[in-house]
Amino acid sequence: MILSENNVFLLKNDNISYMFRVTEHGNLEHLHFGLPIQLGDVDALSVKYGTGWGSNSGPEGEEFPMYYPLEWSCLGTGDYRESPTEFAGEDPAGFKFSYAKTYEAIVPIKCSLPQARGKAETLEIVLAYVGGLTLHLFYTLFDTAITRRAVLVNNTDQPVTVTKLMSYMLDIQGDYEMTTFNGSWIAEMRSYRAKVGLSGIVNESTTGFSSALHNPGFILNEPGATEECGEVLGFNLIYSGNHYARVQKTNEGLTRITQGISPVDFEWVLKPTERFETPEGVLVYSNKGFGGMSENMHRFINEHIVPVTWQGKDRPILYNDWEGCMFNFNEAKLLSLAKKAKKLGCELFVLDDGWFGERDSDKAGLGDYDVNKKKLPNGLSGLQKKLENIGLSFGLWFEPEAVNPDSKLYRAHPEWALHANSGVTVLGRNELLLDLSKAEVRDYIVDNVSKCIDEGHVSYVKWDMNRHSTALGATAHKCVMGLYDVLNRIFTDRPEVLLESCSSGGNRFDLGMLCFSPQIWSSDDTDAVERFHIQYNLSYLYPLSTMGAHVSAAPHSQTLRDTPLTTRGNISFFGLLGYEFDLDELTPVETDEIMNQIEFYKEHRHTFQFGNFRRLKATEGISMQVSDGRETIVGLFHELVYAAPGYEKIYPVGLIQDKRYNVERSKQLQNASKFGGLLKVVLPVKVHPDGLVVRTAGKRYRMQDSVQTCSASGAALMSGLSLNARFMGTGYDPQMRMQGDFISNIYLLTEES
Ligand code: DGJ
C-alpha cells in the first residue's frame, strides 16, 4: 500500500517499506528503506541535524543545509556528494517538490525501455526545476522490491541538453561493504568486495552494453553480514547499455547510492515538450543476510521481470551443436546428433552459428539470412520436420545486431554499420555493429529474423552478440533502445518462442535482456568447475531459472581440465541443464550416465529451476541447495582434494525442525583408470592402469561409490548431516565416498509423509 500524510510518503507491504518526507523547503528527505514501518515513525527516523557542521552550505533561507539523506539532489546546491542530474550550461538551482500522485498499478514507460511487470502500486513525485523543467520520480512497490526511475520533461520553450540523469539516488545511514561482479569473456562474475569509503566505489560499463566487465548489479552489506543474518541490500538496473553506479560514504555517516545510464560522453538534447525516460532501477532489502537478499531478488525476477509466458514454466533440456561441430556440419551430422540427443532425453535441438550465408568461419556471412544450402539442402523447414519426427523441437541461433564486412548485407549497405565516434573502424570478432538507431536497420532485422522463425517453426531462439561497441553517450543509448524495439516487435507476437540471450556468454547478463529472454547463456566458459563459480556468483542477483549452463566435453577445451561427468552434470543441475559436445563420441557408459542425469533432472526440474535457493555453509568445499518445501536438494562441490580429510557435514537450511526427512545421496561415478597403481593392488589380475584393458573397460564401466541413506528430523539435518567418510587410501569400506579432484555429490532430502 502507499500511504501519505502531512507530506510524508510511505510505500509498504509485509516484506519491505520505503519512506520519505517533503521538508519545509521543498526538498525530499529520505527516511527509511527496510523492514515494514509506520507513518508515525518519522520523528524516530529523521536525522537530527543540531547546529550542524561549520563547513556546510545550502541555498539561501534554508537553515538546514544539504547534508542530510535526500531522495534527489543537484549540483550547485551545497550538496557536494555525487549528483544524479547534470545539464550543459544550465542554471544549477535545485528541484523542489510540486505534487504527488498514486496509482494502483505500474505506470508504463513511454519508450521502448523494458520495465518490471505484474501486480504493483506506484507513487509519482513531481519536482519542479526553477528553469521550468519537471522531474518525475516514480517509485513502484512490488512484493519484494522497490523500483525507481526518473523522467525529465521539458516544459520550457528552449531545448535543454542533459549530460547526466540517473535513475535513482538513495541516501542511507551507516557503513557498508560493496560487492561488484567484474570480469571479461570466459571470466564473468568474479566478485570483489570492498569497504565503501569517502571517495566511493564506481561500477560502470562503457562497452556499449551492460558487459561482463562490470555487471550492473551490486550488493551493499553491513559489515559482518552472513548468508543468513544481517542487513543486505541488492541493486540492479533494467538496462543493457552503458551503465554507471557510484556508492559513496560521507563524513557525516551517510552512504549515497546513484545508478543509471553512464554519463560518459552523454549529451541528450531535449526539445520543448519532449521527455527523457531513464531505465528502472531495482532496490531490494533483507535483514536475513545475503541469502535473504538473493531470495527477494530471485522472486522479483521470476515474477516481475521474465516474460509472463515463461514465469514459473519449466525450461526444456536442450542439446546445442556449437561445441561439438562449430561451423563444420551438414544435415546428416545434425540428424545423427539429434537422434542421440533424443535417446539421452533431450527435448530441444539447437542449431548454433554457421547455418546461413557464406558462414564457414566467423570471418564472413553475418548479416545474411539465406540458408547455406551446402550444409542444409532442405532448408530450415526441412531440418525442422526431421527433428520433429525424431521427437525434438527446433532452436536456432542468430546474431542480428552485427555484420561481417564480408557479407552481402555490408556490400549492399555499408552505411548501416556503426562506426566509432572517432571515425576509426574498430572490428571485434571480425564484425561491425549495425546502427540500430536507424529504422531501416531495425526493419531489416525484424523481417528476416521473423521470417526464419516462422519458416523453420522455431520454438527457441539463441540471440547472440559477440563484440563490444565503441559507441558512447546518446548514440549507444539509441542503439540499445533500437534493440529493445526489435525484440519487442519480434517476440511480443511470438510469446511461445523461448528466447535465450547470449553475448559471447555472459557479456549482457542483465535485467533488460531478461525482460525479453527468460534465460541467458551464463558463459562461454563451459568448463564445469570454472562455470560453477560463475553460476555461484550469478546466484547472488539472478535466479537459477535464468542461467544457461551446459555440460561440455572433458578434458575441457579452454582449461584442459578433466572433470568427472558426474560433477559436470551436478553443476549444470544448478542452472538450466543442456549438453554441448559431439555426442557421436560418447561411450556406452557415458550415454548411460547422461540418461540417468537427465532422468533425475526431469524429476526435480521445477525445484532446480524455481525452488527457493540458498548458498550453504559447508565443512569443506562449496555447497548450495534448492527447495520446494517438500523436497530439498543439496549440492556439495569439491575442487582439489587433500589427504587425510576430517569429518564432514552439510548444513541444509529452511527445513521444518520436527518433520522427518528421508536422505539419499547420489552416486559419484569415476573412471577406473583414475585409481592408477591401486588397481594392481585390488584386482586379482595384473593390469596396466593406462593399458588397453583398463581403457576398454572404461568405456563400459565406472567405479561407483555408495549411496548414503538415512532418515532424520529437520532439526538434526540443519545441525549438520554427517557425511560418509572419504576414501583416503587406507583400505576399502563399501560405505565410503570415492573422491578425487573436482568431485561432487547431490543429497536429496524428501519430507516423510
Ligand atoms: C558465442 C556464444 O557464446 C557461443 O555459445 C556460440 O554461440 C558462438 N558465439 C557462435 O559464434
Of the listed ranges 38-47, 62-71, 135-144, 636-645, the least confidently predicted one is 62-71
Per residue in 649-697, pLDDT (tens digit) is: 999 999 999 999 999 998 888 787 777 777 777 777 777 877 888 788 7
In this predicted structure, the answer to whether residue 39 has a pLDDT above a threshold of 80 is yes
Q: What is the pLDDT of residues 600-609, one digit of tens each?
A: 999 999 999 9
Which of ligand 1's atoms lies nearest the C-alpha of 524? 3
Give per-residue pLDDT as tens, 281-308: 999 999 999 999 999 999 999 999 999 9
Say which residue the cell 553443476 belongs to. Answer: 571
pLDDT exceeds cutoff 60 at 63: no
pLDDT single digits (tens) 163-182? 999 999 999 999 999 999 99
pLDDT band at 64; cut points 50, 70, 90: low
Distance 399 CA to ligand 1 centre (A): 9
> What would the mean pLDDT of 213-240 be, rounded to a whole number?
98
Residue closest by Cα to atom 9 of ligand 1? 504
Residue nearest to atom 5 of ligand 1 (CA): 524
Specify the pLDDT at position 701: 80
Ligand 1 atom closest to the CA of 462, numbered from 1: 7
- Alpha carbons 29 and 632: distance in angstroms, whole number: 44
Instruction: Say what the pLDDT of residue 704 is.
Output: 79
Considering only CA atoms, which residue is closest to atom 10 of ligand 1? 353
User: Which residue's C-alpha cell is 540417468?
Assistant: 596
- Residue 536 C-alpha cell reads as 555461484
Of 508, 739, 745, which is closest to residue 624 (Cα–Cα)?
745
Give the residue, by CA position, lying nearest to ligand 1 atom 1.
504
Average pLDDT estimate for 624-647:
94
- 337's enclosing H/E stretch is helix 331-344
CATH topology for 308-401+438-469+494-612 is TIM Barrel (3.20.20)
Confidence of residue 93 (pLDDT cuts 50, 70, 90): low
DSSP assignments along 138-177, one per residue: EEEE-SS-EEEEEEEEE-SSS-EEEEEEEEEEEEEES--E
Q: Choose the catalytic residue: 321, 352, 368, 464.
A: 464
Q: In terms of pLDDT, which residue wins out, 248 or 65?
A: 248
pLDDT at 114: 98
HSE-up of residue 359 (Cα within 13 Å, Cβ side): 27
- Structure-block grid coordinates of residue 724: 560418509
Take residue 625 and report the three cell numbers written for it: 541447495
Say what the pLDDT of residue 729 is: 83
443 is catalytic: no
Backbone angles phi, psi at 95, to 5 degrees: -85, 135
Pocket around ligand 1 at a 6 A CB cut-off: 322, 352-353, 397, 464, 466, 502, 504-505, 521, 524
What is residue 499's three-state secondary structure? strand
Q: Ligand 1 pocket check: which of 352, 360, 430, 557 to mutate, most ligand atoms within 8 Å of Cβ?
A: 352
Cα end-to-end span (Å), the chain: 39
**More reliable by pLDDT, 226 or 89:** 226
Q: How far is the CA of 577 from the centre of ligand 1 (A)?
A: 17
Which CATH fold would you assign to the domain 622-668+705-751? Immunoglobulin-like (2.60.40)
464 flagged as catalytic: yes
> Is the pLDDT higher at 259 or at 620?
259
Residue 556 confidence (pLDDT): 94
The pick from 521, 580, 581 for probing ligand 1's pocket by mutation, whose C-beta has the most ligand atoms within 8 angstroms, reads 521
Mean pLDDT of 381-399: 98
Task: Give me the pLDDT at residue 738, please.
Answer: 81
Return the residue whose CA atom lies nearest to atom 2 of ligand 1: 504
Q: How far is the CA of 353 from the centre of ligand 1 (A)?
A: 7
Tell me how far the alpha carbon of residue 294 lies from the centroid of ligand 1, in angstroms: 29
Position 97 pLDDT exceeds 90: yes
H or E element in which residue 744 lies: strand 744-751
Q: How far apart are CA 207 and CA 214, in angstroms?
A: 10
Question: What's the CA-to-centroid distance between 240 and ligand 1, angstroms?
Answer: 19
What is the Cα–Cα distance from 117 to 305, expressed in whole angstroms?
6
In this predicted structure, which of 49-63, 286-300, 393-407 has the lowest mean pLDDT? 49-63
pTM: 0.96
Q: What is the DSSP pairing of strand 417-418 with strand 190-195? A: unpaired
Distance 541 CA to ligand 1 centre (A): 24
Instruction: List the domain boundaries for the chain.
Output: 2-304, 308-401+438-469+494-612, 622-668+705-751
Nearest ligand 1 atom, CA 504: 3
Domain 2-304 has CATH 3.40.440.10: no
Rg (CA), the chain: 28
Pocket test for ligand 1, best of 356, 430, 464 (most atoms within 8 A of CB): 464
pLDDT in tens, 191-202: 999 999 999 999
Beta carbons of 742 and 529 less than 8 angstroms apart: yes
Q: Which of 79, 321, 485, 524 is catalytic?
A: 524
CA dist 250 and 196 (Å) reads: 10
Instruction: Sort strands 498-501 and 460-463 into parallel, antiparallel or unpaired.
Output: parallel
Q: Would 308-401+438-469+494-612 and 622-668+705-751 be classified into the same CATH topology?
A: no
